[in-house]
Structure 1
Amino acid sequence: MSTADEEADLSEDEQAGLELIRQIGSIHQSDFWKELDVDSRKGSRILESLEEKGLIEREKTVYEGHNTYHIEPVHDPRDLDFSLLMAGDMLSPFIGDEEIDATSDQFSQYIMTLAYEEY
């Protein structure tokens, strides 16, 4: 099942929780409950469901002296903007090379193309 399909099957509480996590970018589970205005049990169920559906990732951590989870959204690769790797019709010289010579003509042309696209 795709991410879009999983999102279509979310309950109202799950949708609100996912939206909160996506807006903030990351949050500790204890803060998630407070922000969503639900008790810890309901908050845990929401997060477990979102994690099972592959929409968030949870990592155990200690926050303010308590064991909790750090929550982050899982980004759908279809949401990535690959145009940011392009300057005109030039692909970023950072793609595929381990080291970039900042004085190379290729790098200079790429930077100049980026600069002129902005104006």
Structure 2
Amino acid sequence: MSEDGLEEKALEIIKSRPNGVLQSDLWKELKIDSRKCSRIIARLESEDKIKRIWETVRGTRTFRITYKPQKAEKKEADFGLIMAGGEVAPCVGCTYECEPDYCPDLGNWIELLAKELEAEEKKAEEKPAPPIEEEAAAAKAVKAPVSEKPAAKAKKAKAVSKSVKSGKK
């Protein structure tokens, strides 16, 4: 069996025992010599998959090997739901057992949130509308056949707008 296969099998055995396994028992169970087992254990320990602790059993010193559960990856949190104007919702760290309808801190935070939303709406309304000529050119460009290239569309739109201004077709 390959080193990787032995490593996986050793890890499975270690995982299956809640109290871990003695290294002296592990090499016997894997049917390999103690030296090879030590190398496998050292590799698993360097990868931070196991932990080994000295133990004396029937007068013999050995290691008890236990599995170290791997830490799950942290997901990035979206704090936008609890933030308003750079302020965190007061209920996040609140220790009071109050009624949300009567909480002054929560009321102030909601007012801040409402002002922030109004400011965003005003910014959206203040954006200038595109000039009428650009809208007409954009509408004609949309109606143009698909085979035309963008540069050809732009030339055609300029020619049409010049002819409209001069009164020619």
- Bin of the TM-score, shorter chain as denominator length: 0.5 to 0.7
Tell me if 1:50 matches 2:44.
yes
SS in 1 for 2:24: helix
| Residue in 2 that maps onto 1:33 | 27
Measured in 1, the distance between the counterparts of 2:57 and 2:37 equals 17
The secondary structure found in structure 2 opposite 1:77 is coil
Output the amino acid matched with 1:22. K
Please list every run of at least 4 consecutive aligned residues from structure 1 whose deviation after the TM superposition is greater than 2 angstroms: none
Post-superposition offset of 1:12? 1.1
Instruction: Structure 1: state its 5+ residue gaps.
Output: 1-9, 79-119
In the other structure, the counterpart of 1:20 is 13
Distance in 2 (CA, whole Å) between partners of 1:76 and 1:53 is: 11
**Higher RCO (C-alpha 8 Å, min separation 6):** 1
Q: In the TM superposition, what is the alpha-carbon distance from 1:36 to its structure 2 partner?
A: 1.2
Distance 2:6 2:39 in 1: 10
Q: Structure 1, residues 73-115: CA drift from partner, whole Å, max 9, x if none? A: 001233xxxxxxxxxxxxxxxxxxxxxxxxxxxxxxxxxxxxx
Normalised by the length of structure 2, the TM-score is: 0.39
How many Å apart are 1:11 and its aligned residue? 1.1
**Unmatched 5+ residue regions in structure 2?**
73-169
* Number of residue-to-residue matches in the alignment: 70
Normalised TM-score (structure 1): 0.55
- Tell me the distance in 1 between the aligned counterparts of 2:26 and 2:16: 12
Higher Rg of the two aligned structures: 2
